[in-house]
Amino acid sequence: MDTLSIRTFVTVTDARSFSKAADLLYLTQPAVSKRIAALEDELGSRLFDRIGRKIVLTEAGKELYPRAKRILLELDDSRRAIVNLSGNISGRLSFGTSHHIGLHRLPPVLSRYSKDFPAVDLDIRFLDSETACSAVEHGELEIAIVTMPTSAMQNLVIIPVWNDPLCVVVGRDHPIAADPDNTDQGISPSAIAQYPVILPGANTFTREIIDAEFRKFGISLRVKLATNYLETIKMLVSIGLGWSVLPKSMLGDQDLILLQVEGIQPERSLGVVQHANRTLSNAAREMIALLTS
């Protein structure tokens, strides 16, 4: 089996389409079909069933897929290790980050990195932190600069970079803000929990942190709306649609009021995630060194 055929098979499987795989591989669709046919002939088994416009893996294809992924990961890892021997800091660095970190934390880092290492092409993927961590775990990204997971993830190394305090906020037109006692003396968790809240989506690292803070008081929050875009949450809070918990770095807007909630002091950690068992490129190592310096 040649590696081009293996990579084509994996790309077709992930894209679930010969035509989409052709676009991703910069090939014609007939060329993709030819590679798959050659691989099927070599293995003596059909790898895909064509059902109308859809393709699905056969049992042989399901058996091959995880092994093919491991082969490609080992090849990529070997390639990085050999290239690293030259000491050159060049090539493509693929990493994931969240929109919030990309807007509020990374600009000065990326500016300095691009000046120090102009031969590196940055391939930045804006993803939810959870998706980015999964992509690192599966070898789709070298590193991720994200909200740190709330618990250990298999095969991942976590490097904290920034502490990110979270604050309870409300818009000036919200009923909570109408009571001076709430803004001057603070409010109890049970009192604020009576009002609907706007939060990041369930199962996100940030949401887990917020929910855990209120669970200490036996409180389950009434989530009116959920979105993973913190800038959107800030806007919705500012127009009075609910209260929320946002990074302190996002405050300063006159349309938001900071609330002191008794016993509630959430904080998250932002940093770098890398795979424990894979070789980092020189470009990735320099990015981590800059982030942690």
CATH 1.10.10.10 fits domain 3-84: yes
* Contact assessment for residue 231 and residue 255, using Cβ atoms and an 8 Å cutoff: no
Is the pLDDT assigned to residue 181 strictly greater than 90?
A: no
Q: Where are the domains of the chain?
A: 3-84, 91-162+270-292, 164-267
Higher-scoring residue by pLDDT: 210, 179: 210
> 164-267: which CATH topology?
D-Maltodextrin-Binding Protein; domain 2 (3.40.190)
Query: What's the 3-state SS for the chain?
Result: CCHHHHHHHHHHHHHCCHHHHHHHHCCCHHHHHHHHHHHHHHHCCCCEEEECCEEEECHHHHHHHHHHHHHHHHHHHHHHHHHHCCCCCCEEEEEEECHHHHHHCCHHHHHHHHHHCCCEEEEEEECCHHHHHHHHHCCCCCEEEEECCCCCCCCEEEEEEEEEEEEEEEECCCHHHHCHHHHHCCECHHHHCCCCEEECCCCCHHHHHHHHHHHCCCCCCCEEEECCCHHHHHHHHHCCCCEEEEEHHHCCCCCEEEECECCCCCEEEEEEEEECCCCCCHHHHHHHHHHHC
How close are the terminal C-alpha atoms of the chain, in Å?
44
Give the pLDDT of residue 112. 96
* Contact assessment for residue 46 and residue 60, using Cβ atoms and an 8 Å cutoff: yes
pLDDT band per the 50, 70, 90 thresholds, residue 74: confident
Is the pLDDT assigned to residue 244 strictly greater than 90?
A: yes
Give the pLDDT of residue 38. 92
Lowest mean pLDDT among 114-123, 133-142, 176-185, 234-243: 176-185
The 10s digit of each residue's pLDDT in 118-139 is 999 999 999 999 999 999 998 8
pLDDT band per the 50, 70, 90 thresholds, residue 236: very high
Is the pLDDT assigned to residue 148 strictly greater than 90?
A: yes
- For residue 200, give the nearest of 240, 163, 243, 245 by alpha carbon: 245
Ramachandran angles phi, psi of 128, nearest 5°: -60, 150
Is the pLDDT assigned to residue 105 strictly greater than 90?
A: yes
Half-sphere exposure of 82 (CA within 13 A, CB side): 6
pLDDT band per the 50, 70, 90 thresholds, residue 28: very high
Whether 164-267 and 3-84 are alike in CATH topology: the answer is no
**What value does the mean pLDDT of the chain take?**
91
pLDDT band per the 50, 70, 90 thresholds, residue 162: very high
Ramachandran angles phi, psi of 21, nearest 5°: -60, -40
Give the pLDDT of residue 1. 66
> What is the architecture of the domain spanning 91-162+270-292?
3-Layer(aba) Sandwich (3.40)
Higher-scoring residue by pLDDT: 87, 221: 221
pTM for the predicted model, two decimal places? 0.79
Averaged pLDDT, 12-29: 90
